[in-house]
Structure formats: structure tokens, C-alpha cells
Homo-oligomer: A and B are copies of this chain.
């Protein structure tokens, strides 16, 4: 009843997930990931893989899920920093970029599969990103009193810019990353100013 058995199973499951993570890199993407190699790295026989996942695809979707979870944790972390005061934009973008730097493999997976081969994968990643955007929209509506229509455009634009910059950061040196960070912050500010101007415009047309 101690569940020694179940614990051992979970342990090898984690080993498989970790092995897959380790094998993911810039040169060796998910598509060219083999069941046998993953099993080898996890230290089990290829056949045992099937005790835990039906497919490599199922493993992959698990990775995407875990990546999304990590991203959401990041968001929460970022919001706490905002509460302490300081520039909302700077602290959010900085946190995001730190995540990218510290979780290269998982972010690369998310990006790859965002425009990747499997429809199910793409939808899974898209869901994660939408979640991200939705929280930003709520923030803009609640805290900054934007119209929902403008806030949606605004948030979507920011997410697109920041994710795209994150992608570039993967290949960048620390110095380049620093520059990329500042550029991105400046761009997000431009969008914020543009959204503000658009709001003013809408108001003047309304009256």
C-alpha cells in the first residue's frame, strides 16, 4: 500500500521527460528526437518507453504542457515585482527575457512547435500564448482603463513583439541580449504610446 511501485514508475517517467529535455538543443530539435535515444539516455530499454507514453508525440505534448506551466509561473513572478513598484514594462520584459535565458531548451521547443509539424502541438502552444495575452488584456482593462477592443490589439501586439524578441535572444550573446532587452522595452513603450494615442482619437471621434 506504500505505493513503492507507483513512485518508481513516476520516477522513470520523470527520467524520460528529463532525457527528452536534455536531448533538445539548437542543433537537435524535437522532430529529430528518437524513442530509442531518449530511452537510452533515461537508462531504460526502448520497449519500456511504452509503459509510460503511447507515442513520442504524447511525450512531446507533455513537454509543451510543462513549458507552459513554467511560463505561467513566470508571469506570476513578474506580477509580484510590479506590485513592489517600478516600471511595469521594464520589469515584465526583463523577467520574460530572464526566463528565456534560463530555460532555453523549453522555450525553443515552444517556438519550434508554434510553427511546427504537428497540428496538435501548434494548438497546444497557441493555447499557452493566448493565456498569456488574455492576462495582459485584463491588466490593461482593469488597471489602465482601456477599452477592451483597443486593449486586445495592444496586448496582442506586445506579446507578438516580446515572443519574437525572445526567439532572437536564444541565439544571442549576453551583450546582444542586453541590447535586445532595451530595444524590446523601447518598442513596447512605443506600442503603449500608440495605443494611448488611438484611445484619445477614438474618444474625440465619439464626442
Contacts and interface: CB of A to CB of B under 8 A. Distances in A.
Interface in A97-151: 108, 111-112, 114-119, 122, 126
Contacts of A191: 157, 190-191, 194
Contact of A160 (B164, B192, B194): B164
Taken together, the copies of this chain in the complex come to 2
Interface in A142-199: 153-154, 156-157, 160-161, 163-165, 167-168, 170-171, 183, 186-187, 189-198
Size class of the A contact interface (CB-based, 8 Å): 35 or more
A28 interface: yes
A154 B190 contact: yes
Contacts of A156: 183, 187
B31 A183 contact: no
A194 B198 CA distance: 9
B190 A28 contact: no
Contacts of A118: 27
Given A190-B194, A194-B194, 18 more contacts: A26-B117, A28-B117, A29-B117, A31-B31, A31-B117, A114-B115, A115-B167, A115-B170, A122-B171, A153-B186, A154-B190, A157-B187, A160-B164, A189-B198, A190-B195, A191-B194, A193-B198, A194-B197
Which 7 pairs between the two chains have the least Cβ-Cβ distance? A194-B194, A190-B194, A31-B31, A160-B164, A111-B115, A29-B117, A193-B194
